Chains A and B, each alone.
Chain A
């Protein structure tokens, strides 16, 4: 059992999505996250173990390297692809409630902004860390978030922006979320965002990389 999970960890960390994927070159022709996850489920390994002992570890490893400047966006994107391939097999277990998740996070690229690669990476990492993720996509204003917060009070809100011109829209969303519930957590991130800006608009947390958000969320969950 541990052999498969170890291999799966490597696949997620190194971005090996499936057997036909030529990347990374030294794993060419070997099973990827897709095949290994299917195999693990078939062998009766619990979806929770697959998530916690393989996917979470793999994403955390690559996230750590990214924070340290030892891995870069192209590698993160490949890991996200591998993660996605594994998640296809695990999704049914999440919806059935068989896998216990740590909480719910709603994520979106802020109103007016279309740049979603950073947000997608965070979504993968958060999901990989054992949280339920509601990804609202791009161009997300308060109107889209409001219903989710009504249905699931306490859902953590995460917003990203890549443009200085759209970052300003975060302020409005934070204000409106806080007006609904002053204790509702809002995390923000993206290239132009800073800790100062986070403080200025009254958001709860800022991180310059996805791993920081994971550490913060895990701190809340424990």
Chain B
């Protein structure tokens, strides 16, 4: 009785020793598995894949799998009990990483390709059949560099101060190699091209470039340079005979993830002006058309991702993700339909939009009755400081966009389409982004586009360097901090008018 079993977790590479009959629900939560329906076996949100070993099914579990249409090697963690050694693949966080499956136009090519989105927080690699454009498989991981800080500045600091560049480089190269090798191992296909996109700091670390120029003004990056690697030096599977290309950065902190966003939105082919807004910590923005493209990073800060917000959290179980006021009382949506634990970026935007409309928050952002917080669904609140944090973030994006438009000598009305990218972008209520003045374009022009970095990386599998160079030639980076009156514009754009 009470034998111990070993559970291996992929792709994390973790090994756990657990007692017989331990419910997986008790041990997997801290490895990123969440239980959106609260462990009732309804939603399938906690699904895991058995790579080795078996989890026996009872009738209820079998019915749940049938109902959700899941394959025989899948189990629901909330219904599972350990009775043998197991190797499990847990990619619950994939939903949040946005392993994109959208379609795009391409010219069919021979062989297979791998597109990689190398993010500060998450990594996604997709295997594509280049003759059909179909995604055959995807693997995701967390960026192992996160141990050395969540944001790019702390990574730079670690690399410079602790001579840690090679440590960070080895970590990321090992992860990327493991992901690529896994895709090749599973499918045994001849991969001929690998494309990686990522922000400037990730590009520098992966390529082993000195980060000092990015640590201080004028924040110069090795812009517009393609870096290519051999599969051997990256320790990719020995059978692979592919070109591995890291797409070039656009300048300063605007990296090839944004170049990929340009490809994904086809901004560079459009006669009319198109805008791309990535609502992450760096808040990159792009406006342009086939003749001229301007880009900037706005340092919007992490408020949209729940950081610096009193009860802020990412969009996962227990987060208030949307708030509506239809006249018959305020309705809250909590992810997983359970007691709320906090609020995520989309919920925060909704909350402020709703309370402005109800005249509880004034257009300057002040809570009118002078209290320091507003109660949402207990125990969650938003504080006066939270509103101020959001004002800084939205002011930075809106002011940055205004400056790019001014430099192009166009108005908001002359922009034909606006694409919102990024993990957070997918959850937001567009009407409310307009109401709070985050995005000041007509509603019917605004589209959520998901992971544009990954879409663009996939598209670039079908392109050559010569196809991308013309985009680089018409793209300029704008340093917002150097614009006179930026501060006054920034202050104005913080208001909710």
Query: Does B364 contact A25, Cβ atoms closer than 8 Å?
Result: yes
Given the complex of chains A and B, what is the CA–CA distance between A165 and B488 in angstroms?
27
Q: How far is the CB of B46 from chain A (nearest CB, A)?
A: 39
Q: How far is the CB of B270 from chain A (nearest CB, A)?
A: 31
Interface hits, B372-424 → A, CB 8 Å: 384-385, 388, 391-392, 395
Query: Does B385 contact A116, Cβ atoms closer than 8 Å?
Result: no
Query: Does A113 contact B217, Cβ atoms closer than 8 Å?
Result: yes
Q: How far is the CB of A200 from chain B (nearest CB, A)?
A: 15
**A138-B385 contact given A165-B157, A165-B160, CB 8 Å threshold:** no
Query: Does A22 contact B497, Cβ atoms closer than 8 Å?
Result: yes
Given the complex of chains A and B, what is the CA–CA distance between A80 and B153 in angstroms?
28
Query: Does A114 contact B156, Cβ atoms closer than 8 Å?
Result: no
Q: How far is the CB of B283 from chain A (nearest CB, A)?
A: 15
Which of B157, B219, B395, B491 makes the CB contact (< 8 A) with A81?
Answer: B491
Q: Which residue of B lies closest to A28 (CB)?
A: B363
**Residue B476 is within 8 A (CB to CB) of chain A in the complex:** no
A residues in contact with B495, CB < 8 Å: 22-23
Which of these binds chain B: A36-44, A68-76, A96-104, A181-189? A68-76
Query: Does B392 contact A74, Cβ atoms closer than 8 Å?
Result: yes
Size band of the interface chain A makes with B:
20 to 34
**Residue A64 is within 8 A (CB to CB) of chain B in the complex:** no
Query: Does A73 contact B153, Cβ atoms closer than 8 Å?
Result: no
Interface string of A147-187 (1 = CB under 8 A from B): 00000000000000001111001000000000000000000
Query: Does B392 contact A25, Cβ atoms closer than 8 Å?
Result: no
Q: How many residue pairs bridge A and B at CB < 8 Å?
A: 78
Query: Does B216 contact A165, Cβ atoms closer than 8 Å?
Result: yes
Given the complex of chains A and B, what is the CA–CA distance between A46 and B154 in angstroms?
51
Query: Does B156 contact A74, Cβ atoms closer than 8 Å?
Result: no
Query: Does B481 contact A77, Cβ atoms closer than 8 Å?
Result: no
A residues in contact with B391, CB < 8 Å: 74
**Residue B163 is within 8 A (CB to CB) of chain A in the complex:** no
**Residue A202 is within 8 A (CB to CB) of chain B in the complex:** no
Dominant secondary structure of chain B at its interface with chain A: helix
Query: Does B491 contact A74, Cβ atoms closer than 8 Å?
Result: yes
A residues in contact with B153, CB < 8 Å: 163-165
**Residue B494 is within 8 A (CB to CB) of chain A in the complex:** yes
A residues in contact with B216, CB < 8 Å: 111-113, 163, 165-166, 169
Given the complex of chains A and B, what is the CA–CA distance between A22 and B448 in angstroms?
31
Interface string of A99-125 (1 = CB under 8 A from B): 000000000000111111100100000
Query: Does A164 contact B491, Cβ atoms closer than 8 Å?
Result: no
**A72-B388 contact given A112-B215, A163-B153, A164-B157, CB 8 Å threshold:** yes
Given the complex of chains A and B, what is the CA–CA distance between A80 and B494 in angstroms?
14
Query: Does B384 contact A72, Cβ atoms closer than 8 Å?
Result: yes
Those 6 A-B pairs whose CB atoms lie nearest each other, nearest first: A112-B216, A72-B388, A165-B215, A77-B491, A114-B481, A74-B494
Can you name 24 A-B residue pairings with CB atoms under 8 Å? A22-B497, A24-B364, A24-B366, A26-B362, A72-B388, A73-B392, A74-B364, A74-B391, A75-B364, A77-B491, A80-B487, A81-B488, A111-B216, A112-B215, A112-B217, A114-B479, A117-B487, A117-B490, A139-B217, A163-B216, A164-B157, A165-B160, A166-B215, A169-B216
Interface residues in chain A, defined as those with a beta carbon under 8 Å from any beta carbon in chain B:
15, 22-26, 69, 72-75, 77-78, 80-81, 111-117, 120, 138-139, 163-166, 169
Interface residues in chain B, defined as those with a beta carbon under 8 Å from any beta carbon in chain A:
153-154, 156-157, 160, 215-217, 219, 362-366, 384-385, 388, 391-392, 395, 479, 481-482, 487-488, 490-491, 494-495, 497
